[in-house]
Amino acid sequence: MYRRAYVTCIGTAAVMGILALIVSNHYDRPLLDPEGKFLGPSWARLPLLLLGAVVLDLLPRTLWLSRLRPSAMPGIVRERIRTHWNRERVTLVVVGVVSFYVTYVSYRNLKSCLPIARGDVEYDRELMYLDRVLFFGQDPPVILHALLGETFSAHILSYIYVLFLPMVPLMLTAWLVWSRNISFGYWFATSQCLAWSLGTLSYYALPTKGPGFEYFSRYNDLTHTPTTDLMNSLASARIDVIHGGVTGIVQSVAGFASLHCAITLLFALMVQFTLRNRLLKLVFWANFAITVVATLYFGWHYLADDVAGIMIAFVSFYLGGLATGQKFDKRSLRSHPTTATSAIPVHKV
């Protein structure tokens, strides 16, 4: 069973990496590390990320349990390493971090090449008309701006939307390092890799810029928020890449499907099925719901984009569960690990 988890997670990352290399080479674009400018080269960053995951687990725990007594710290560290940081946990963290990193970097490069590879066609007009049909002749952002206002609500929605960026690596780290069952960590990492890959496929299948970029005049009355700065930055990078001939940056404008919706729903599903804390479940379901509203409010996506993102989340969540040996309980929103190998042990919960 553990081989299926490895193959799915690593295989998805490998396919994405190969596709990124092929597309970048075909269109004579350099394969870029999108975060390298700020976080350093990947050859140094990956070991630091892995080391950071270990320190994040050991340091707070040791300081708390030792009550800051130096003499007690070595014994606490050794006990934690013996009981938690065994070969299975270390393998999970390494496989999860590296697979996600390769998948995400490949996603960013494939997304950057989208207007060059598929610049001959865009479906913004069709999806805009579909929105109007579904909203009885009205534009969704116009309705939301009237209902929620364009100042206070804009700030709230913006901060929650932008919070997505740090949440992705933090949530991945949490499931890899602290999941009570090893298979839950593989489930989360595998589903993440699948979701980002399916999202990339959707971009190439139905290219769009999104209403906020294609019909930006509808959003001019919104108050200035961090989302405003983010959209302006993305629009500027897109112009530099497409029209300015700049090759050292990635462009990140693509509408269909909404990976914000996909990934936040994936967070909520994982919390629902693997954790027992009722408050956390409410928080993550609320985060998903608010994110859906924010995508339409700011013009990141059309309604069809959000629906596609939701479908990607369900498919990735289910396939990731199958790959990691989960058995779903139809009568309650929980799962039961069925793996019992030494590589993915079943812990009593």
Instruction: Give the DSSP H/E element, type plus range, for residue 125.
Output: helix 124-134
pLDDT at residue number 333: 57
What does the pLDDT read at residue 347?
41
According to DSSP, residue 326 is labeled: E
Q: How confident is the model at residue 345 (pLDDT cuts 50, 70, 90)?
A: very low
* Closest alpha carbon to 223 in 150, 300, 145: 150
Over the chain, what is the mean pLDDT? 85
How deeply is 292 buried, as exposed, middle or buried, from its count of CB atoms within 10 A (0-12, 13-18, 19+)?
Answer: buried
Q: Which percentage of the chain shows pLDDT scores above 90?
A: 37
Query: What is the SS3 assignment for 270?
Result: helix
Q: Given this model, what pLDDT does residue 38 score?
A: 45
pLDDT at 272 over 60: yes
Residue 285 is predicted with a pLDDT of 96
pTM over 0.85, yes/no: yes
Radius of gyration of the chain (CA): 21
The lowest-confidence range among 31-40, 140-149, 158-167 is 31-40
- Can you tell me the mean pLDDT for 227-249? 84
Bridge partners (DSSP) of residue 327 are 336
Instruction: Indicate if the pLDDT at residue 216 is higher than 50.
Output: yes
pLDDT (0 to 100) of residue 161: 92
pLDDT class of 111 with cuts at 50, 70, 90: very high
Phi/psi for 327 (5° steps) reads -115, 120
Which tops the pLDDT comparison, 137 or 334? Answer: 137
Q: Would you place residue 198 in the very low, low, confident or very high pLDDT band (cuts 50, 70, 90)? A: very high
Separation CA 30–CA 74 (nearest Å): 47
Q: pLDDT at position 337, please?
A: 54
Tens digits of per-residue pLDDT, 273-332?
988 889 999 999 999 999 999 999 999 999 999 999 999 999 999 999 988 888 776 665
pLDDT at 341: 43
69-78, 106-115, 240-249, 255-264: least confidently modelled range: 240-249
> What is the distance, to the nearest Å, from the Cα of residue 332 to the centroid of all Cα atoms in its chain?
26
Span 32-58, pLDDT tens digits: 877 655 445 555 666 777 787 888 888
pLDDT score recorded for residue 326? 84
Query: To the nearest whole percent, how much of the chain has pLDDT over 70?
Result: 90
pLDDT at 139 over 90: no
Report the sign of the C-alpha dihedral through residues 202, 205, 206, 208, in that order.
positive
